[in-house]
Amino acid sequence: MSFQCLSFEPDTDGVVLVTIRRPEKLNALSGETIAELGEAFRAAREDASIKGLILTGAGEKAFAAGGDIGELAQADPIEAERQSRRGQDVFRMLETMRKPSVATINGFALGGGLELAMCCAIRIASPNAKLGQPEVKLGIVPGYGATQRLPRLIGRGRALELLLSGESIDAAEAYRIGLVNAIAAQGDLVATAKGWVSKVAANGPLAVALTMESVDCGLDGGLEAGLRFEAMAFGLTAASADRREGMAAFLEKRKAVFTGR
């Protein structure tokens, strides 16, 4: 798979590393970059051999330092809304792919960069990471989902603190408030992320997918809708070959071999 702004590197364990490669622009998210991310996420979602995804940025300065301001400055209101919708659709594809994903935040994750990271299942940051939503400093509103995802991750009060001030925080503070799940040395980020994805991928793939969907159903539709979906998912997994294999392996004191069926 060939890209201009990304690399797409699956390994033999079924984990694909997607790297944004615009280091001269601190990996800013141009329209072309977002379109290529859409292609990469679609490929990862549809390829059964890919069990999980790691997302990072090239270099040691930035995961993604926001949108491409040069492009944004030229957009009229209609085009600005279209850009927002396109980005939201691509980011949502990552968020709903039903496979474990990790953002390895190796520097700046600002604006659209942080919005992209929030669509991964978890986030791991290097000690030099800086995270924030500085859009209000430019006189605009976040356009790729920060006003919705940030409160869901860290609560309304802390989210508004970041969204309304436009200030960034370091990795330690991001970990303290739950915006990132772990901190790892710059050189260990991808290996740490791969360890987590591989651990999740060793579980029943149908159960993993339905667990992710159950969480999102409850967050989006409320407690009652979430509970109904959970019960349905529980029933589906009860009828699966993976359930039979998982319980047999437990009773026989061996490692389960799941097939996703």
Q: How far apart are CA 83 and CA 90, in angstroms?
A: 11
Give alpha helix (H) positions in the chain: 31-46, 69-74, 77-95, 112-117, 146-154, 156-165, 171-176, 189-201, 205-221, 223-238, 241-251
Q: How far apart are CA 142 and CA 30, in angstroms?
A: 15
Annotated catalytic residue within 39, 60, 71, 135: 135
Burial of 74 (0-12, 13-18, 19+ CB in 10 A): exposed
Beta bridge partners of 10: 16
User: In 3D, which of 98, 120, 86, 93 has the Cα closest to residue 50?
Assistant: 98
Q: How would you classify residue 15: left for phi > 0, otherwise alpha for psi between -120 and 50, otherwise beta? A: beta
**115 in active site:** yes
Question: Which amino acid would we find at residue 95?
Answer: E
Q: How far apart are CA 246 and CA 204, in angstroms?
A: 8
Contacts of residues 186-191 at CB distance under 8 Å and 24 or more positions apart, as own/partner, are 186/60, 186/106, 186/126, 186/127, 186/128, 189/56, 189/104, 189/105, 189/106, 189/124, 189/126, 190/17, 190/54, 190/56, 190/104
Q: How far apart are CA 240 and CA 27, in angstroms?
A: 42
**173 in active site:** no
Q: How far apart are CA 94 and CA 29, in angstroms?
A: 15
Annotated catalytic residue within 9, 32, 115, 173: 115
Active site amino acids: 115, 135
